[in-house]
Structure 1
Amino acid sequence: MNRSASLISVALLAVAGIGMTWLVEHASAPQIATEQQLIDSRKLLDVLPPDSYDNQPLQQPLALNAVDLAHSKLLGGYRATRHGQPVAVLLRSQTPGYAGSIELLIAIDASGRLLGVKTLAQSETPALGGHIADWPNGWLQGFSGKSRSEPADAGWALKKDQGQFDQMAGATITSRAAINALHDALRYFDEQRSALLGGGT
């Protein structure tokens, strides 16, 4: 075999190899995307008890446009159901923190109680307010079970502001921002309960 024939054979093998690689990647791309969505969903939905719902809440967003509240803005929402009945609503909330916006995912059960809170984005000071992004987050978990009326409106504040809640160490502004966003979300849920739950509990 002469040199030209050898080069042609190598080139054909290279083209065939590239083509096979492209075909394999192209064929498996949907499965990879689906698996990545499931991983992302699990990371977001760990604010909900794992056996409390049987739908895919993130694939069924609520018809919420950006809603300006007293101290925060709602960016969107999702409904979790079990056997077709609403069990919880997840609200994406954005509130101004110390160094920038803080985005929270707030889970509220059908009776209006907080199930869990997770930080989705923040730019707070590392080792201080930045701890709000830790998961699991002991400080945020302390709000589980709270509702719009428990405590009363005046209680939704830091103890230093005559409220009922401790702050994260060294992070007064971040703590106030999160408390205000949670209270906003609970008020909104209470006022829009029927629409958020799909017309009934």
Structure 2
Amino acid sequence: MKTTRSLVLLALLGLLGIGATLWLQHAATPRIAAEQRALQARRLLDVLPAGSYDNHPLDQRLPLGDVQLSNSRLLDGYLATRNGQPSAVLLRSQVSGYAGPIELLIAIDSQGRLLGSKPLRQDETPGLGARIAEWPNAWLQVFSGKSRHDPGDAAWALKKDHGQFDQIAGATITSRAVISALHDALRYFDEHHEQLLPRAPHE
């Protein structure tokens, strides 16, 4: 009888322990998910200058769909705002590199100037084109502050193609692809400015 009571007590304690563990896991799941989301947001949003937005841009998607451009595709877009006014757009772009698709996040301010860009995915050759994935990236920083017309359309190319920009050493195709994607995004922004930057209702 005593043994039976002990076994029942142990079983109850075991069930209580399992229940407590499950409850703690359930209670912690939203916090863990929120922390993972915040980490992902920080990783993506470091292309935007600190203090340039006060919303959660990744929660404010732009109705782009899948847009085919001259040399690349726009997969998605997000709006950054400050004090309720649009401050920048983030465009997720895909272009064909040397070894496969290169996916970029491209930030453009409300005046159509490039704030920054970073690769989200690439399969380029290690030691050559794959250097596009280094962060921070000195080569990509060269394009910050540029716009569709600064330099002009014809200058958005490598120097070897009579354009303005140097290439990543040993990675001509990768460099051409990224420059084309940046130029495509700036041109798209310029041509769809009103759609991408909706004004506040009182304006």
Say whether 1:15 aligns with 2:15: yes
Residue identity opposite 2:19 in structure 1 = G
Partner in structure 2 of residue 56 of structure 1: 56
Alpha-carbon contact 2:86-2:199 (below 8 Å) kept: no
Residue identity opposite 2:176 in structure 1 = R
Residue identity opposite 1:180 in structure 2 = S
Q: 1:169-184 residue pairs with structure 2 within 5 A?
A: 169-184=169-184
Q: 1:101-140 residue pairs with structure 2 within 5 A?
A: 101-140=101-140
Alpha-carbon shift at residue 60 of structure 1 (Å): 0.7
- 191-200 vs 175-184, which deviates more? 191-200
Alpha-carbon shift at residue 199 of structure 1 (Å): 4.2
What are structure 2's unaligned runs of at least 5 residues? Answer: none
Residue identity opposite 2:87 in structure 1 = V
Aligned counterparts of 1:127 and 1:66: Cα–Cα separation in 2: 32
Q: 1:35-74 residue pairs with structure 2 within 5 A?
A: 35-74=35-74
Alpha-carbon shift at residue 35 of structure 1 (Å): 1.8
SS of equivalent to 1:87: strand
Aligned counterparts of 1:194 and 1:4: Cα–Cα separation in 2: 76
SS of equivalent to 1:127: coil
Aligned counterparts of 1:155 and 1:27: Cα–Cα separation in 2: 55
What are structure 1's unaligned runs of at least 5 residues? Answer: none
- The Cα RMSD (Å) is 1.5
Q: 1:78-117 residue pairs with structure 2 within 5 A?
A: 78-117=78-117
Alpha-carbon shift at residue 34 of structure 1 (Å): 1.4
Partner in structure 1 of residue 186 of structure 2: 186
Aligned counterparts of 1:164 and 1:3: Cα–Cα separation in 2: 86
TM-score normalised per structure 2: 0.94
Identity of aligned residues (%): 64
Alpha-carbon contact 2:106-2:116 (below 8 Å) kept: yes
Alpha-carbon shift at residue 151 of structure 1 (Å): 0.8
Residue identity opposite 1:137 in structure 2 = N
Alignment size in residue pairs? 201
Residue identity opposite 1:134 in structure 2 = E
Alpha-carbon shift at residue 4 of structure 1 (Å): 4.0
Partner in structure 2 of residue 76 of structure 1: 76
Residue identity opposite 1:128 in structure 2 = L
Q: 1:154-196: CA deviations, max 9, x gaps?
A: 1111111111111111111111000000000000000000110
Alpha-carbon shift at residue 127 of structure 1 (Å): 1.4
Aligned counterparts of 1:193 and 1:2: Cα–Cα separation in 2: 80
Alpha-carbon shift at residue 8 of structure 1 (Å): 3.2
Aligned counterparts of 1:44 and 1:135: Cα–Cα separation in 2: 12
Aligned counterparts of 1:124 and 1:7: Cα–Cα separation in 2: 62
Q: 1:82-108: CA deviations, max 9, x gaps?
A: 101111111000001111100000000
Alpha-carbon contact 2:157-2:165 (below 8 Å) kept: yes
SS of equivalent to 2:22: helix
TM-score normalised per structure 1: 0.95
SS of equivalent to 2:76: strand
